[in-house]
Structure 1
Amino acid sequence: MQYTPTDEIQIISILLIGISLLVLMGIAIILFFYFSRKKIIKTELEKANLQIAHQQEVLQASLQTQEAERKRIAQDLHDDISSKLNIVSLNANFLTDQNITPQEAIKLGGSIAKVTATVLESSRRIAHELLPPALEKFGLVPALEELCDQVEECGTLQVTSRFQYEEGIFSKEEGLHVFRIVQELVNNTLKYAKAKTISIALVAEKNTVTLQYKDNGKGFALEDGKKVKGLGLSGIENRAAILNATVEIVSAPGEGMQVVLTKQTN
């Protein structure tokens, strides 16, 4: 079969069109993968930026919590120890007076012994607050049980507790943050709530640990409560951020307070 010049031109045209289509399809595929990859990279960058932002927030929360604790410890040291040591120093200087009578010396010695005993007790209390011995030696649940016992010994509050938790789920540092949260909540109840009962639960189920705290006190408007530094709600939220946990605080005047902290575990 012979092809005429016209037929050859048509065949070449068809081939060129086919090649052009293939080239266009190739370019389209390349552009598709390019923009898809670009979108994936953009999504990954956004995710990485969110993670960095979250880490920065957690770091900032940690620094704020640490700074608040430093201020509290410094205030305790000043109020409970420094002022009393000044009294000891003053009385000791009086003892060096050559004109002091034996009776006055005995009185000053008794005062020094009494103030020194108070300073020692304050030192033990501050050391206990820095790192509760029960938490260090036995773990989170024994430390919380000890805290509950101490509250009940005051005689003004009835405490109910439920602990369904195995030691080791939280690291020591995480356990300390959980203990501090409960400790802050108890202090708030004792100082402000005028409550009669407290309930505390720490429950680990599957991959979730939940801390629940509730009192039947006078409660408060949540927005107002967050503005009151004495309540320490920001510190509780900061510790929750450090734990990478969620925290829900519910309260209203006359309805007590409830706090639920939830953390996902591996």
Structure 2
Amino acid sequence: MNSISLENTELIKAVFFILLAFISMFLILVLFFYFSRKKIVQIEVDKKKLEIEHQKQLLKSVIVTQEEERQRIAQDLHDDISSKLNVVSINSHLLKTPNLTKDEVEEITNNIINFTQNALESSRRIAHNLLPPVLEKFGLNAGIEELVEEYNSTKKVKVVFENTINFDSSNIEKHLHVFRILQELLNNSIKHGNATDISIQFIKLDDQKVCIYSDNGLGFDLNNTDNQKGLGMRNIESRISFIGGKYSIDSKPNGGVKIVFNFK
């Protein structure tokens, strides 16, 4: 009997230790999954914080760009149109001067006509910068063609434009963003990259409209984040974000720049 009792005791101890081992393993697994989940949640929180901060930076760049645009328009109105209209006003009052000779009247009249014409041309230029008439009337394709023609007319750069997409003419707001993106890219290529050859291509890929932009300019080091975070690049990034797109950059020193972005 004592032998059987001893065996039972040993069996109970073995079962107890096995159960204890299983419980310990279970607790370890629970703690492992708990802390793993907590770490995953923390990573997601940090990721969301970075995304929010990134959106704040994009919004800030948009506000800065808009403010600079307003200041530029105000400067153009003041320095260009207002000054010309002041000259027109002065010459108009001069016509009231008594005993003017015929030649003097003709000279003053010509001044009024010339400065009025210049003021009209300046107002058209400002309006064109705000919303190019060809873009509004004939759509994005025609707007880009006109933009490309303007740059090619300088003879300092050759811009090639190819398009296989039929743009919806009703989506003028989104197309204006695309137009401004290309303006900024062209400006960067020529002003900062000293490019002489530029290619702009639009294709359709998986129900997405894709723009492939490349130049033969100086390029830059992609590992240097400062090169990608200038105001111009942030402005481009914010506009791409507004049209629901994503972009990628490929560049290297003396290797030109290639930017691909999509939109719906």
Normalising by structure 2, report the TM-score.
Answer: 0.72
Secondary structure (helix, strand or coil) at the match of 1:211 reads strand
Instruction: Identify the range of structure 1 (41-50 vs 119-128) with the bigger mean alpha-carbon deviation.
Output: 41-50
What's the offset of the Cα at 1:181? 4.1
Distance change >3 Å, CA 249–CA 139, structure 1 → 2:
farther
Partner of 1:148: 148
Distance change >3 Å, CA 112–CA 159, structure 1 → 2:
same
Partner of 2:109: 109
What's the offset of the Cα at 1:146? 1.8
Partner of 1:30: 30
What's the offset of the Cα at 1:126? 0.8
What's the offset of the Cα at 1:119? 0.7
Secondary structure (helix, strand or coil) at the match of 2:108 reads helix
For residues 41-99 of structure 1, what are the alpha-carbon distances to aligned partners after superposition, in whole Å with 9 as ceiling and x for unaligned? 022112212212321232233233323322332332233212112212222333455x3
Distance in 1 (CA, whole Å) between partners of 2:162 and 2:22 is 71
Contact 2:135–2:142 under 8 Å retained in 1: yes
Distance in 1 (CA, whole Å) between partners of 2:194 and 2:22 is 81
Secondary structure (helix, strand or coil) at the match of 1:62 reads helix
Is 1:241 paired with 2:237? yes
Distance in 1 (CA, whole Å) between partners of 2:68 and 2:49 is 28
Distance in 1 (CA, whole Å) between partners of 2:129 and 2:261 is 24
The equivalences for 1:75-90 within 5 A come to 75-90=75-90
Distance in 1 (CA, whole Å) between partners of 2:24 and 2:185 is 68
Distance change >3 Å, CA 247–CA 235, structure 1 → 2:
farther
Partner of 2:224: none
Partner of 1:227: none
Amino acid at match of 2:247: A
Amino acid at match of 1:246: S
Distance change >3 Å, CA 47–CA 12, structure 1 → 2:
same
Amino acid at match of 1:37: R
Instruction: Identify the range of structure 1 (240-249 vs 28-37) with the bigger mean alpha-carbon deviation.
Output: 240-249
Partner of 1:127: 127
What is the identity percentage for the equivalent residue pairs of Structure 1 and Structure 2? 36
5+ residue gaps in structure 2? 222-228, 241-245
Distance change >3 Å, CA 191–CA 33, structure 1 → 2:
closer
Partner of 1:261: 259
For residues 207-243 of structure 1, what are the alpha-carbon distances to aligned partners after superposition, in whole Å with 9 as ceiling and x for unaligned? 572332547xxx66869xxxxxxxxx94542233111
Distance change >3 Å, CA 202–CA 258, structure 1 → 2:
same
5+ residue gaps in structure 1? 224-232
Partner of 1:226: none
The equivalences for 1:1-266 within 5 A come to 6-97=6-97, 99=98, 101=100, 103=102, 104-152=104-152, 159-167=159-167, 172-184=172-184, 198-207=197-206, 209-214=210-215, 234=230, 236-242=232-238, 243=240, 244-248=246-250, 252=254, 258-265=256-263
Distance change >3 Å, CA 250–CA 90, structure 1 → 2:
farther
Distance in 2 (CA, whole Å) between partners of 1:107 and 1:34 is 89
Contact 2:65–2:235 under 8 Å retained in 1: yes
Normalising by structure 1, report the TM-score.
Answer: 0.72
What's the offset of the Cα at 1:102? 6.4
Kindly report the root-mean-square deviation, in angstroms, between the aligned alpha carbons of the 2 structures. 3.8
Distance in 1 (CA, whole Å) between partners of 2:153 and 2:194 is 16
Secondary structure (helix, strand or coil) at the match of 2:93 reads helix
Distance in 1 (CA, whole Å) between partners of 2:21 and 2:157 is 83
